[in-house]
Structure 1
């Protein structure tokens, strides 16, 4: 798994654009379809989605079965045990929500430090045991993205981006809109300025600027704005659009 993680890390650091699928459902079939479609990453949402820790192994297996997408997950909260458990389960990139300060960013980093780095996290090769391929994975480190989505996080974004161990930041645009007094989905100058500030801070620190989008058209706009780790659609939203399109065609 180390080779796969480091390959993705090197590609992102070199400036590649990653387009991702956001999984709110627990459907391994949709995970396979998304990976086979060619998405660069597939993210399992344990915060606002229906995914729970018991779903992670079968969904990550489904993603890997049909492609080489970066297996990603958003943890429910910035909690030491939960972040480590995702890494133990073989997740290759972890997104941590609501990071509001340097101290919180450092806590997320520490949750991925094995004892070989002099930290407190215990070694639990859950995925390796499940696949009968146990090896010393203490030097493996998933990519770590911290979410900038509230007023405190925006105010500290330059310092957060500079925290060692952070690979990227990931914007939650709806919550960020609320934080600057705007409404999600509506153009607002303060929101636009906040996005520029976050992307500029990431670029200056040499970390990857990421953002959540609802569809491909929005993702294309964010790419033009300089974001490089871009959720391009979600499984439930995309399924709903496809259902309505086909039903509309049938009834027309």
Structure 2
């Protein structure tokens, strides 16, 4: 029996809508804990979007599915970052019901083309067909899902290397790339500036890519936890930003509690250092 499902707005649609006269950049945060409870808590925060991360976080298929379900009832866009730009992994994420993908380490137009192809059924791509088994199609309860699937999916690719910056215009020109996202941490490492996300060369590379996206008519986003840096990138034309992470907020908040209520350990001088236990 066909299931009547209200079509969800994709991240691509949200970005298009925010470019109008009353539009504004979209602010979001990372969700890295792997917890559906934390995902739901963040989904109700009032932020515009969440990024569930599986590249550097303990997230597998089951935890991603649970977090998608937990966040589904809230007015927030949810993106998911797979660990790698891989056709099989992307197929599994899409079948789970992931609608908005952030693909890491896209260094060339060919990488971008492969990412887009992984999201589309033949003849326009290489996505495997398993809609009868998949939550994405509500197990074949959504009429014409196979024909309309690409309309329900957005693809954002991550620019986070010197090679990607050099190829950003070609990457932006790939049909099916809806937006680019700048990762200053890996970009800094690629430039030989590990841990120096605020270095002028890194900032200049990020702003170059934002300008290229603006010229191409596509949105650019950036990761920026430092508020002055985030505001500077927004002023340069960034359409969306990530400004925090669940695990970082918990780490800094718990450290602040400890600093407030627990006195610092006394300094142990050399003569007092134990020599055995």
Which structure would you say has the larger Rg?
A: 2
Q: TM-score, normalised by structure 2?
A: 0.81
Aligned match of 1:140: 149
RMSD of the TM alignment (CA)? 2.3
Aligned match of 1:80: 87
CA change 1:121–1:181 in 2 (3 A) is same
The counterpart of 2:241, out of the listed 230, 233, 238, is: 230
Q: Which runs of 5+ in 1 are unaligned?
A: none
Q: TM-score, normalised by structure 1?
A: 0.89
Aligned match of 2:201: 190
2:22 maps to 1:18: no
Once the two structures are TM-superposed, the CA of residue 158 in structure 1 deviates from its matched residue by 0.9
CA change 1:180–1:130 in 2 (3 A) is same
C-alpha contact 2:214 2:237 (8 A) present in aligned 1: no
2:129 maps to 1:123: yes
2:53 maps to 1:45: yes
Q: Which runs of 5+ in 2 are unaligned?
A: 1-5, 264-277
Alignment of 1:1-252 (within 5 A): 2-5=7-10, 7-12=13-18, 14=20, 16-65=24-73, 67-115=74-122, 118-125=124-131, 126-128=134-136, 133-138=141-146, 139-141=148-150, 142-185=153-196, 187-214=198-225, 216=227, 218-251=229-262
C-alpha contact 1:19 1:232 (8 A) present in aligned 2: yes
Deviates more, 1:240-249 or 1:21-30: 240-249
For each residue in 1:99-141, what CA deviation from the matched residue of structure 2 results, as whole angstroms up to 9, or x when unmatched? 11111111111111123x5433233342246689544323233
Once the two structures are TM-superposed, the CA of residue 224 in structure 1 deviates from its matched residue by 2.5
For each residue in 1:218-237, what CA deviation from the matched residue of structure 2 results, as whole angstroms up to 9, or x when unmatched? 43343233212211111100
Instruction: Give the length in aligned residue pairs.
Output: 250
Distance 1:251 1:225 in 2: 43
Once the two structures are TM-superposed, the CA of residue 26 in structure 1 deviates from its matched residue by 0.9
